[in-house]
Amino acid sequence: MNQRSGSVVFDESFLSVRAKLLEISATLDRVDRAVEANAPLDEAALEQRERVDHAIRLLLSERSDRAENIQLLFSRRYRPNWRSDMAIDD
C-alpha cells in the first residue's frame, strides 16, 4: 500500500480543517460575548467550556495520539454495569 505524504494529506484536508477551526473560534467568541453581557456560565456549561479548553491544549500538543486523547476527554468512563444502570435488557 502506497502511503500518501503529509503534504498531500494536509493539502486535501486544509479547507475542511480551516472551516472547523473557524466554527470553533466563532462559537467561543459568541460564548465569551454572552458571558460578558449577561452572567457567568452555569456549572454544566463551565464544565463543558473547561473540557473544550483542555481539548484545545491537547490539539496544540505535539503528541501523536491527539485524536484518541480528545475522544477520551469527551467520552463517558466505562462502567461494567452500564447495561443494568441504563435499564437495557440483554
What rounded mean pLDDT belongs to the chain? Answer: 92
Q: Could you give the C-alpha distances from 58 to 29, 32, 79, in angstroms and in order?
A: 20, 21, 25
Q: Which range is least confidently modeled, 12-26, 46-60, 72-86?
A: 72-86
What percentage of the chain's residues is helix, strand, coil (to nearest 5)? Answer: 70, 0, 30
**0.75 surpassed by pTM:** yes
Say yes or no to pLDDT of 1 above 70.
no
- Per cent of the chain over pLDDT 70 is 98
Residue 66: partners with Cβ closer than 8 Å, 6 or more residues away? 58, 59
pLDDT at 90: 61
